[in-house]
């Protein structure tokens, strides 16, 4: 993980939320029979609820950690005229910051409140996923 991100997390949280989860290996996780894609789908189901209930026009919402350096946000909505809209954002953890990549193409580094909110969302994601899916203490990585 980039030192910039570690510094940001350390400013917001007393402990690094990621380190304990890196200790969980495939052989000792309770979900070892699931494929990587199935795990991402289950993590996404947990991640979508971090932002509260979806508005009625949202037909699908996803938030998940694709790999150590990539986070994904995807939302599908039904417009008043009946058409569907899709919006996907990829967040790339880089040494110089968190790059937000949107279709268009639009690229920008997270700053201020948006950066703080992203870090809080990832912390909540790790807490929920480690507890609910992997049955691990999010701070220590030990089994619950």
Reported as a single tens digit per residue, the pLDDT across 85-111 is 999 999 999 999 999 999 888 999 999
Query: What is the pLDDT, as a whole number, of residue 8?
Result: 52
Plot region of 2 (φ>0 → left; ψ -120 to 50 → alpha; else → beta): beta
Q: Is pLDDT of 10 > 60?
A: no
Task: Read off the pTM.
Answer: 0.75
Query: What is the pLDDT, as a whole number, of residue 14?
Result: 47
Strand order in the sheet with 58-67: 58-67, 70-78, 84-94, 97-102, 106-109
* Distance in angstroms (rounded) separating the CA atoms of residues 43 and 35: 12
* Distance in angstroms (rounded) separating the CA atoms of residues 61 and 76: 6
């Amino acid at each position: 993980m980039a030192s910039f991100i570690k510094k940001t997390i350390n400013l917001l949280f007393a402990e690094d939320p990621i380190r304990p989860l890196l200790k969980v290996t495939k052989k000792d996780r309770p979900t070892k029979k699931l494929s990587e894609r199935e795990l991402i789908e289950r993590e996404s189901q947990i991640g979508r609820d971090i932002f509260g209930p979806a508005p009625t026009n949202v037909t699908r919402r996803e938030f998940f950690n694709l790999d150590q350096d990539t986070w994904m946000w995807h939302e599908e909505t039904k417009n008043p005229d009946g058409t569907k809209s899709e919006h996907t954002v990829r967040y790339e953890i880089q040494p110089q910051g968190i790059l937000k990549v949107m279709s268009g193409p639009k690229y920008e580094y997270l700053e201020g409140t948006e950066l703080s909110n992203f870090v809080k969302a990832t912390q909540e994601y790790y807490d929920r996923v480690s507890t609910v899916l992997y049955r691990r203490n999010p701070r220590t990585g030990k089994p619950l």
